[in-house]
Structure 1
Amino acid sequence: MIANAKKIADGVYWVGALDWDTREFHGYTLHGSTYNCYLVFGDDKTALIDNVYPGFFPELWARIEDAFAQEGKDEIKIDVMIQNHIEMDHSGSLPDIVEKFPDIEIYCTQIAIPGLKNHWPSLVNKEMNPIKTGDTLDLGGKSFTFINAPMLHWPDSNFTLYNEEGILFSNDAFGQHICSGERYDYELDPKAVENVAKKYFANLITLSSPLVVSKVKEMADAGYLDKVKMIAPCHGVIWTKPQTIIDLYAKWATADCEDKITVIYDTMHHSTQKLAHEIAEGIISEGVKVKMCFLKEDDESDVVTEVLDSKAIALGVPTMMNNPYPNVGKIIYYFNCLSFANAGKKKKAAVFSSKGWGGGAINRLTSDLENAGFDVLEDDALDVHYVPDEKALEQAYELGKKLAKAIKED
């Protein structure tokens, strides 16, 4: 295979892989991704920071060969492997690297060691060097400082700061699932990059929002952030203006939301759909932005992305056999996984349903949302028999208005 490395600084190369074809990752939809890894040439040693998903090693190796050629080196020799994270999209080619370089020194967090050996049995007897925050590594003229970053987004996660050039190799933090030939943020539309970064945060980082805030403060207090001139994550483009994504993470992690409500709904015979549309009209009448998410068509990963920067949601589905329409179960489980309450104060919520018998969906939806960390307006739930008449539609409109007023007054 022929593939080229991209020089991003003196003696530093992007040597990752482009996954043009993946459409699902970590349970959410996307349109391709990158597995970024980086080769750093020191005077004495050469280090590879992270690697690629199983099956992509030929592409990684082709770029490594090109990087060595660009450096004018005839012999390919990698002395150090820095494994910032154990998931397979970051460690999938570690056995191939060790096979080519049996004496390579592997550096990772203490908790990553058993994880890597569990993932890759061929490495069970391979010595690995545990790293903790503040530890350093000198390649000769180039040095790294390690910053453990547990739960950003796994317990084993680590950041590696290249001191001389101020490049923060941040692994999964600050990433985006973008697949393109461009390597830098300024080469793509800024709003498009922000949108995919938001989706990435919503689906992967929301649960760890308090840790985002504390880690950024910790790095600032230690003087690390003052050194950072570039953030090179393991997915997507490299941030040449790192404060852009740092500020966005601070906003999302603290639930600094605009006046926006996401209406999430499904329907069997259009009754709940009619209620949802009228609720939206009530929200709009108060000058509040509304986003509609139709569960029959919209993917859950897109729904939670809208919820991330919303102050409230309205959730409605039909009642089926005295319970919520089963299709709502996936988004409820997703809310439980992400725990939006961790991103600051609780988001408000209203629930609505259409029923044919005695009902039951409203109580279950209310309980489920409260358990997921939402502040539900219980006294304002809307439960309609069969097809909503004009009175029911008026109630839906007023529910939208009330929810909109509640977020403006909060």
Structure 2
Amino acid sequence: MHCVRKVTDDLYWVGANDHRLALFENIHPIPKGVSYNAYLLLDESTVLFDTVDWSACRQLLENMEHLLEGRGLDYLVINHMEPDHGASIEEILIRYPQVKVISTEKAFMLMHQFGFHVDGHECIQVKEGDGFSFGTHEVVFVGAPMVHWPEAMVTFDTTSGVLFSADAFGSFIALDGKLFADEVDFDRDWIDEARRYLTNIVGKYGPHIQLLLKKAGGILDQIKFICPLHGPVWRKDLGYFIDKYDKWSRYEPEVKGVMIAYASMYGNTEAAAQALAARLCEKGVTNVAVYDVSNTHVSYLIAEAWKYSHIVLASVTYNLGIYPVMKSFLEDMKALNLQNRTFALIENGSWACKSGDLMEKFIAEEMKDMTVLNERLSLASALHADKAAELDALADAIAASLEGKE
């Protein structure tokens, strides 16, 4: 049974939703699912913009068959070759043998690498600034390399103002019938998963996102719809989401607040983290989020690190080093290029307390444009009453930093 939705008078969403997949890219949990978006244009020529994951191919084919009503498919535009969008290319080529394929040079290279038999079809290689006509619709192709694969491009329909944005402006969460962002309470129900998607999938490539945003800035007044490959279509309040992407890709904190991430073996370091959270709230700093790095998937930790201006790392010493899950969190922040944050440290060790110095060294030498507050809470096994002044001093330093009094 087909499941389609109209975007404009002659453009339709023909994608699918996936609630069966547990791990996106086999690493990121998606408890609320994900959508694979593809779009079919019914102009003088028929045009499919991208495909879907192989698991959703049957739904894509049923959707297309319903809308085409016996017409053939004239063009297949591939903006992004990653398999969650490109895996069904081969099936489209088989079902529609006359289809012409439009994409970039690197995308065609990847098609061959994945074993897609495009050579029997007319392949139209496009580059930055090239235009194409499908009848009444004129499109322009814009390079978007490393957002987040090197072959990626976006396609702008100058006739209808639709930007096919590939993986940019995407989000986790299945659509479940609600195609447009204005059909949901995005700021309440979606923004956290949109941030988690961006920061973990594309966050490393902030400068490349900035370059794409600058290109889009030149036609911002012409963009009426943003059609990403995951998540809802934007047709209202586009500036809200564009501003989020601008902040995230510049590594600018979204809010002033404190993320406390703790690594605790027997609960003592956790108790110190909770005590600090309480002290901060007593001092009026209530935008505080506390996470156990041992049982919180790192994709959520990364998303929260992107959100907050201040990060407290509380770690036990383990084998004279940083507790492994905390070290992994640090490594992931480095790998994804997080910048411009202020850190505070809590360290614990029963006979050789090393974690604080090691965390500070990692932040200073391995990460970019970070600040570490001088105040530190050091524990010998557990938090005792004699550390009350040290705890207060740390809370005061964080509060002052949040007020810009460093």
Do both share a fold (TM > 0.5)? yes
Q: State the 1:123 CA deviation.
A: 4.0
Q: Read off the aligned partner of 1:199 and give its amino acid letter.
A: R
Q: Read off the aligned partner of 2:249 and give its amino acid letter.
A: A
* CA contact 1:274–1:388 (8 Å) conserved in 2: yes
Q: What is the SS of the residue equivalent to 1:340? A: coil
Aligned residues: 397
Q: State the 1:121 CA deviation.
A: 4.8
Query: Paired residue for 1:253, among 226, 249, 252?
Result: 249
Q: Distance in 1 between matches of 2:22 and 2:48?
A: 27
- The aligned residue for residue 3 of structure 2 is 4
Q: Distance in 1 between matches of 2:327 and 2:63?
A: 44
What is the correspondence of 1:78-89 to structure 2 with a 5 Å cutoff? Answer: 78-89=73-84
Q: State the 1:227 CA deviation.
A: 1.3
Report the RMSD for the aligned CA atoms in angstroms.
Answer: 1.9
Q: State the 1:379 CA deviation.
A: 3.6
Q: Read off the aligned partner of 1:36 and give its amino acid letter.
A: N
Give me the TM-score of the superposition, normalised by structure 1: 0.91
- The aligned residue for residue 377 of structure 2 is 382
Q: Distance in 2 between matches of 1:363 and 1:357?
A: 15
- The aligned residue for residue 353 of structure 1 is 347
Q: State the 1:285 CA deviation.
A: 3.8
Q: Mind listing any 5+ residue stretches in structure 2 that lack a counterpart? A: none
- The aligned residue for residue 309 of structure 2 is 311
Q: What is the SS of the residue equivalent to 2:135? A: coil
- The aligned residue for residue 107 of structure 2 is 112
Q: Distance in 2 between matches of 1:23 and 1:111?
A: 30
Bigger relative contact order (CA 8 A; separation at least 6): 1
- The aligned residue for residue 130 of structure 1 is 125
Q: Distance in 1 between matches of 2:71 and 2:389?
A: 72
Q: Distance in 2 between matches of 1:204 and 1:381?
A: 33
- The aligned residue for residue 331 of structure 1 is 329
Q: Does 1:36 align with 2:37?
A: yes
Q: Distance in 2 between matches of 1:375 and 1:52?
A: 40
Q: Distance in 2 between matches of 1:400 and 1:130?
A: 58
* CA contact 1:348–1:374 (8 Å) conserved in 2: no
Q: Distance in 2 between matches of 1:28 and 1:123?
A: 31
Q: Does 1:368 align with 2:362?
A: yes
Partner deviation per Cα, 1:345-388 (whole Å, 9 max, x = no partner): x2111222211122222222222233133624264333321122
- The aligned residue for residue 293 of structure 2 is 295
Q: Read off the aligned partner of 1:148 and give its amino acid letter.
A: G
- The aligned residue for residue 162 of structure 2 is 167
Q: Identity over the aligned pairs, expressed in percent? A: 24
Q: Distance in 1 between matches of 2:357 and 2:123?
A: 52
Q: What is the SS of the residue equivalent to 1:274? A: helix
Q: State the 1:170 CA deviation.
A: 0.5
What is the correspondence of 1:195-344 to structure 2 with a 5 Å cutoff? Answer: 195-221=192-218, 224-241=219-236, 242-254=238-250, 255-288=252-285, 289-341=287-339
Partner deviation per Cα, 1:278-336 (whole Å, 9 max, x = no partner): 22233324433211111133221111211112111011121112111112233122212
Query: Paired residue for 1:190, among 186, 189, 202?
Result: 186
Partner deviation per Cα, 1:242-274 (whole Å, 9 max, x = no partner): 222112212333315322110100211111112
Q: Read off the aligned partner of 1:260 and give its amino acid letter.
A: G
Q: Distance in 2 between matches of 1:123 and 1:372?
A: 43
Q: What is the SS of the residue equivalent to 1:175? A: coil
Q: What is the SS of the residue equivalent to 1:197? A: helix
